[in-house]
């Protein structure tokens, strides 16, 4: 199983840390930064949400509204790459590009299988009938139409369905960063360590790091993987 450091955005050690140049602090709106800090722990990067927030503020990692600029964490560590941010067909704003929820679930599951924790965009007020996709949780294990998550609201590990609904009704979008994974799902859960390391090497090659060597090694790994 993927093992993550669990963090709570409202922890008194960092809840008052401001996401500059905006005015909001981690306790108020730091769910995505906290999710990112948890994801990084599977890449052998131990950084608390408070420390990550300060590092990001120093490199203009937030906009004026304290929103995280998603590619900025990858600028802090050369071993990390930003994958992308996707909205699903559940996203309420019609003008934005989306992918079908079933395809999103497949992609999220595949990322987890290769050791990449995925930040899921969910409803910030799940108990009412108003769709408000302003909260993020980190997913690290996949089941049929469900994911095991850590919720930055309280730092607890739980099933997505137990708090937000099943995946095909709960996930408005997702984003992820790629590093060199140090833990993976068990084989019976589809864990693919070899593919995960190969994917990381390709992400490094795309950044121009050891390009020829990593492409060659990733290619050899992928064609020799019996799965």
What is the predicted pLDDT for the residue at 187? 86
Residue 70, H or E segment: none
203-212 contact pairs (CB < 8 A, 24+) = 203/81, 203/178, 204/79, 204/81, 206/81, 207/78, 207/81, 209/78
pLDDT tier, 97 (very low <50, low <70, confident <90, very high otherwise):
confident
CATH 3.90.70.10 fits 26-187, yes or no: yes
Which 8-state DSSP code applies to residue 43?
G
pLDDT category, 169, cuts 50, 70, 90? very high
d(CA 129, CA 191): 36
Predicted local confidence at residue 227, as pLDDT: 62
Q: Is the pLDDT of residue 90 over 70?
A: yes
Q: What is the mean pLDDT of residues 202-223?
A: 90
Q: What is the DSSP letter of 39?
A: H
The reported pLDDT for the residue numbered 224 is: 80
**pLDDT, greater one: 227 or 147:** 147
Q: Domains of the chain: which residue ranges?
A: 26-187, 192-227
Residue 226 has pLDDT above 70, yes or no: no
Q: Quote the CA–CA distance of 22 and 61 in Å, as a whole number.
A: 11
**Neighbour-count burial of 226, counting CB atoms closer than 10 A to its CB (0-12 exposed, 13-18 middle, 19+ buried):** exposed
Beta pairing, strands 118-122 & 173-178: antiparallel
Q: What is the pLDDT of residue 92?
A: 86
Burial class (CB in 10 A: 0-12, 13-18, 19+), 41: buried
Does residue 126 register a pLDDT over 90? no
Model confidence at 8, pLDDT cuts 50, 70, 90, reads very high
In the chain, % of residues over pLDDT 70: 99
């Amino acid at each position: 199983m993927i093992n993550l450091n669990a963090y709570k955005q409202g922890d008194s050690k960092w809840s008052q840390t401001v996401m500059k140049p905006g005015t909001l602090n981690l306790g108020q709106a730091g769910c995505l930064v906290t999710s990112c800090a948890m994801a990084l722990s599977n890449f052998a990067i131990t950084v608390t949400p408070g420390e990550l927030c300060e590092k990001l503020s120093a490199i203009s990692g937030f906009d004026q509204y304290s929103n995280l600029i998603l590619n900025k964490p990858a600028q802090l560590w050369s071993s990390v790459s930003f994958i992308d941010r996707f909205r699903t067909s559940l996203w309420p704003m019609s003008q934005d590009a989306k992918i079908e929820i079933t395809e999103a679930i497949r992609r999220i599951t595949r990322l987890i299988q290769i050791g990449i924790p995925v930040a899921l965009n969910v409803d910030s007020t799940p108990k009412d009938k108003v769709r408000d996709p302003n909260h993020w949780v980190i997913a690290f294990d996949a089941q049929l139409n469900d994911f095991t998550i850590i919720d930055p609201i309280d730092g607890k590990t739980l099933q997505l369905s137990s708090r937000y609904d099943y995946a095909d009704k709960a996930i408005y979008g997702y984003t992820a960063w790629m590093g060199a994974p140090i833990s993976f799902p068990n084989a019976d859960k589809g864990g693919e360590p070899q593919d995960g390391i190969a994917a990381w090497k390709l992400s490094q090659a795309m950044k121009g790091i050891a390009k020829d060597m990593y492409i060659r090694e990733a290619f050899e790994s992928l064609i020799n993987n019996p799965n």
